[in-house]
């Protein structure tokens, strides 16, 4: 007995030790700064020359692919000379090994390179664009898609991704809305955390985790008039309440790096903005990682007009808090000179920057083995579209689809249709389906919608195809053939939308309807009188009022990536009941932009009275609101029950609602909870998302959903810009989208 006890005791001790060992080897910024690493950095810094330090602060692109003006072609010579500490747009185990070797074997100190890439929505297996993934409101899946991307990218020699983009975007003209989580700060913040978790997995030392980079800091999504790179002019309140929180969330999750944005904020370019980069990010939030610029954004401070030349720009950037210069070669060319000329505490800033960069390299384990990510064997196993990754991509893709309309339950389709027409420029198109920023994804491996439909339709169903037009045609010659095909069919599936290049960087559109003659195609197909299902593929909300009014069934599918055609077919044939909800408002027309759900009431809220806040020619309501999305089943909400009607600062409030699946199918629903502060020391939005739960219900089943609210959830920046709660009356809403909600009232007392 005693012996048994002894054995059990030793097992327990070993387990604890093992756990301790495992934990103590976890390395990321969330752990307290490791004294050992800091000491190693101290000794390295003490022997580094100024040139070597500046080298660490320099990031150049390789010749793989570039996303802006290329101003350095001899990056290999620079690596060997110790003049570059990080390289991007280079991947592959063999190639990254070759580059790494140049740094480790040729330079005096042998400091390894950091290798980065834009792994935005998958690496080889491509997932839906981030805006699409956000429509899933499924944090576990979003985390998993980032995890898989990290597994694939690290197997190809990469350490660092320039993702997630956590810019809030309220203007769908801005093409980069595709890369983020949409318009809402709360949803954007929880998704930011999920992605950082997925990429970094709480341990940068593991060879299958990538250092994440929250970008673009900050307010890039608020570019005036939705035109990319345009200026941003906004109050500190809006900046702090709407645009900063997703970055703060990423920092809380231990994000290793932050990228500055191209835009100016209130007259000061982000890349030279000390308030943003140092006061808020590094001091207020305690960020210990490093700040990298966006592509040549230091150089761009010259045309911005805050400095006369690049040398001044470099000084401004480094002193504002920039640690690494992406591609601009400004630090490379001028920083040493600036230091030699003295002043400004630039040298201590350089030491701090290098410390931050070396910290990340130590956390990655690169000093122990510079080649630990260059594993040809692992690359072979993982990069060639691993079946598990593909299977999950399909799960993620179908969860990202939003059913916008389903009049007369046209969907799901009966598999035994005699003739099905699959029409439209995006119907048999793999190239666009992969979406913008598709990393090492190979579009030829995508499943087109036509292929997906063919796989799932009944073998006896005749499937006809016609393109109808190209995405941006100016002529209508091809429409006639599509109409003829539609006439022969029982049902028409019509895939329309944007090309991948129409969203993403430098892809703003002033008009956001269907490009080219696609609207004409839709009209002509509709006029055949056949039941039509419109499948939208796009990187932004589209203004499609005519389609919304006339077409009976509409699916928003964004750009779904590698498994797009399979996922859409799963929904069309009812293998999967759609559960996505819009993470962004769809306007009726461009004139309504910016339009977003958490607007303010104004002193003259809309009414029948002429002198109220409205347009003469379009309602104030959107085409589809934030949080909107249908299912093949229906959900009914009961009244909200609150456990208290009055809470103090220390209390928690519980809000309960019963949700019943009243339809014929099992399905999922995103139950959304919003709050309005009725009177504050400054005006408050009409509604703000404060929580959501994605639930699954069998037909006829009711479940109780409970939300817990603390006074912390009610905080905001008051009239003195203090982040705090104010006592008063609040409305709590729970519902199926941001407009259709039930409400309850409570009071917060001091
Ligand atoms: C984009 C960044 C991107 C970088 C590197 C820039 O043009 O704005 O989002 O990470 O290029 O490719």
Confidence class for position 580, pLDDT limits 50, 70, 90: very high
Q: Which residues are catalytic?
A: 294
SS3 string, 596-613, reads CCCCCCCCCCCCCCCCCC
Q: Could you tell me if 137 and 670 are in contact, meaning their C-beta atoms sit under 8 angstroms apart?
A: yes
Residues in the chain: 750
Nearest CA to ligand 1 atom 10: 162
pLDDT of residue 733: 98
393-592 under CATH 3.40.50.1700, yes or no: yes
Range 718-737 average pLDDT: 97
Q: How far is the CA of 123 from the centre of ligand 1 (A)?
A: 16
Q: How far is the CA of 436 from the centre of ligand 1 (A)?
A: 12
Query: Is the CB–ligand 1 distance for residue 215 below 6 Å?
Result: yes
Q: How far is the CA of 163 from the centre of ligand 1 (A)?
A: 10
Confidence class for position 343, pLDDT limits 50, 70, 90: low
pLDDT of residue 31: 66
> For 108-126, how does the pLDDT look when each residue is reduced to its tens digit (9 = 90+)?
999 999 999 999 999 999 9
Domain map of the chain by residue range?
A: 2-379, 393-592, 635-749
Confidence class for position 342, pLDDT limits 50, 70, 90: confident
For residue 141, how many other CB atoms are within 10 A of its CB? 20
Q: How far is the CA of 66 from the centre of ligand 1 (A)?
A: 9
Query: Measured between alpha carbons, how far apart are the two ends of the chain, in Å?
Result: 60
Range 381-385 average pLDDT: 72
Q: How far is the CA of 377 from the centre of ligand 1 (A)?
A: 30
Nearest CA to ligand 1 atom 6: 295
pLDDT of residue 379: 86
pLDDT at position 589 over 50: yes
Query: Is the CB–ligand 1 distance for residue 67 below 6 Å?
Result: yes
CA of 68, closest atom in ligand 1: 7
Query: Is the CB–ligand 1 distance for residue 162 below 6 Å?
Result: yes
pLDDT at position 14 over 50: no
- What percent of the chain is predicted at pLDDT more than 70? 95
Which of 59, 63, 68, 439 is the pocket-test mutation for ligand 1 (most atoms within 8 Å of CB)?
68
Round the average pLDDT of the chain to a whole number and report it: 94
So what CATH class is 635-749? mainly beta
- φ, ψ at 646 (rounded to 5°): -135, 130
Query: Is the CB–ligand 1 distance for residue 295 below 6 Å?
Result: yes
CA of 89, closest atom in ligand 1: 12
Query: Is the CB–ligand 1 distance for residue 68 below 6 Å?
Result: yes
Strand locations in 538-579 (E): 553-556
For residue 697, how many other CB atoms are within 10 A of its CB? 21
CA of 327, closest atom in ligand 1: 5
User: What single DSSP character describes residue 359?
Assistant: H
pLDDT at position 276 over 70: yes
> For 408-464, how does the pLDDT look when each residue is reduced to its tens digit (9 = 90+)?
999 999 988 999 999 999 999 999 999 999 998 999 999 999 999 999 999 999 999
pTM of the model: 0.95
2-379 under CATH 3.30.70.260, yes or no: no
For helices 185-200 and 139-155, angle between their N-to-C axes, nearest 10 degrees = 40
For residue 720, how many other CB atoms are within 10 A of its CB? 8
Question: Which of 11-20, 73-82, 301-310, 367-376 is least confident?
Answer: 11-20
Q: How far is the CA of 582 from the centre of ligand 1 (A)?
A: 26
pLDDT of residue 17: 37
Query: Is the CB–ligand 1 distance for residue 294 below 6 Å?
Result: yes
Please name the residue ranges forming H helices in 266-403.
274, 301-304, 310-320, 330, 336-340, 346-363, 376-382, 387-400
Cis peptide before 218 (omega within 30 of 0): yes
Is 635-749 in the same CATH topology as 2-379?
no
Which of 295, 326, 437, 503 is the pocket-test mutation for ligand 1 (most atoms within 8 Å of CB)?
295
Nearest CA to ligand 1 atom 8: 294
């Amino acid at each position: 007995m005693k012996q048994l006890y002894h054995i059990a005791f030793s097992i327990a001790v070993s387990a604890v030790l093992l756990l301790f060992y495992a934990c103590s080897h976890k390395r990321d910024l969330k752990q307290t700064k490791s004294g050992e690493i800091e000491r190693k950095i101290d000794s390295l810094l003490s022997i580094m020359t100024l040139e070597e330090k500046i080298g660490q602060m320099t990031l150049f692109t390789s010749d793989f692919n570039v996303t802006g003006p290329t101003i350095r072609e001899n990056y290999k010579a620079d690596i060997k000379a110790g003049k570059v500490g990080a390289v991007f747009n280079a991947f592959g185990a063999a190639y990254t090994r070759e580059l790494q070797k140049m740094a480790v074997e040729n330079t005096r100190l042998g400091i390894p390179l950091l290798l980065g890439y834009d792994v935005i929505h998958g690496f080889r297996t491509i997932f839906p664009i981030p805006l699409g993934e956000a429509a899933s409101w499924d944090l576990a899946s979003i985390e998993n898609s980032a995890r898989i991307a990290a597994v694939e990218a690290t197997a190809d020699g990469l350490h660092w991704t320039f993702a997630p983009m956590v810019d809030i975007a309220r203007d769908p003209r801005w093409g980069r809305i595709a890369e983020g989580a949409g318009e809402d700060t709360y949803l954007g913040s929880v998704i930011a955390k999920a992605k950082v978790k997925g990429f970094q997995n709480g341990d940068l030392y593991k060879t299958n985790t990538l250092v994440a980079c929250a970008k673009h800091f900050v307010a890039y999504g608020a570019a005036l008039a939705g035109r990319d790179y345009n200026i941003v002019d906004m109050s500190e309140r809006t900046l702090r309440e709407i645009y900063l929180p997703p970055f703060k969330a990423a920092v809380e999750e231990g994000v290793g790096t932050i990228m500055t944005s191209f835009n100016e904020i209130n007259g000061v370019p982000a890349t030279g903005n000390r308030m943003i980069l140092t006061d808020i990010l590094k001091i207020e939030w305690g960020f210990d990682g490093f700040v990298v610029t966006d592509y040549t954004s230091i150089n761009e401070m010259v045309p911005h007009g805050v400095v006369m030349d690049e040398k001044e720009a470099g000084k401004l950037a480094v002193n504002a808090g920039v640690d690494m210069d992406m591609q601009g070669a400004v630090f490379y060319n001028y920083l040493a000179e600036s230091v030699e000329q003295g002043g400004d505490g630039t040298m201590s800033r350089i030491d701090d920057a290098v410390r931050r960069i070396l910290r990340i390299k130590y956390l990655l384990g690169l000093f122990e083995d510079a080649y630990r990510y260059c594993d040809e064997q692992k690359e072979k196993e993982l990069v060639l579209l691993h079946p598990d990754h593909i299977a999950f991509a399909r799960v993620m893709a179908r969860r990202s689809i939003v059913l916008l309309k389903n009049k007369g339950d046209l969907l799901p389709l009966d598999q035994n249709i005699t003739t099905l027409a699959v029409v439209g420029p995006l119907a048999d198109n793999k190239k666009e389906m992969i979406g913008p920023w598709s990393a090492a994804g190979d579009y030829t491996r995508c499943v087109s919608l036509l292929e997906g439909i063919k796989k799932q339709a009944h073998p006896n169903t005749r499937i006809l195809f016609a393109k109808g037009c190209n995405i941006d045609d100016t002529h209508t010659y091809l429409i006639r053939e599509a109409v003829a095909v539609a006439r022969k069919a029982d049902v028409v599936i019509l895939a329309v939308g944007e090309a991948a290049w129409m969203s993403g960087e430098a892809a703003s559109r002033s008009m956001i309807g269907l490009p080219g003659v696609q609207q004409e195609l839709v009209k002509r197909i509709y006029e055949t009188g056949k039941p039509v299902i419109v499948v939208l593929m796009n990187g932004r909300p589209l203004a499609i009022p005519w389609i919304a009014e006339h077409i009976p069934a509409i699916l928003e599918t964004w750009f779904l990536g590698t498994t797009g055609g399979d996922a859409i077919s799963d929904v069309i044939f009812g293998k999967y009941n759609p559960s996505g909800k819009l993470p962004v408002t769809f306007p009726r027309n461009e004139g309504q932009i910016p339009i977003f759900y958490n607007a303010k009431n104004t002193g003259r809220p809309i009414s029948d009275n002429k002198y109220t806040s409205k347009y003469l020619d379009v309602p104030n309501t959107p085409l589809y609101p934030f949080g909107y999305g249908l299912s093949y089943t229906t959900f009914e909400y009961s009244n909200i029950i609150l456990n208290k009607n009055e809470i103090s600062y220390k209390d928690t409030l519980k809000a309960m609602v019963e949700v019943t699946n009243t339809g014929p199918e099992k399905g999922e629903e995103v139950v959304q909870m919003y709050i309005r502060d009725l009177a504050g020391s400054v005006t408050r939005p009409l509604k703000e998302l404060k929580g959501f739960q994605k639930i699954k219900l069998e037909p006829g089943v009711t479940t109780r959903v409970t939300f817990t609210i603390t006074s912390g959830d009610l905080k905001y920046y008051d009239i003195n810009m203090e982040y705090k709660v104010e006592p008063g009356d609040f409305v709590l809403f729970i519902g199926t989208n941001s407009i259709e909600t039930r409400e309850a009232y409570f009071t917060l007392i001091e």
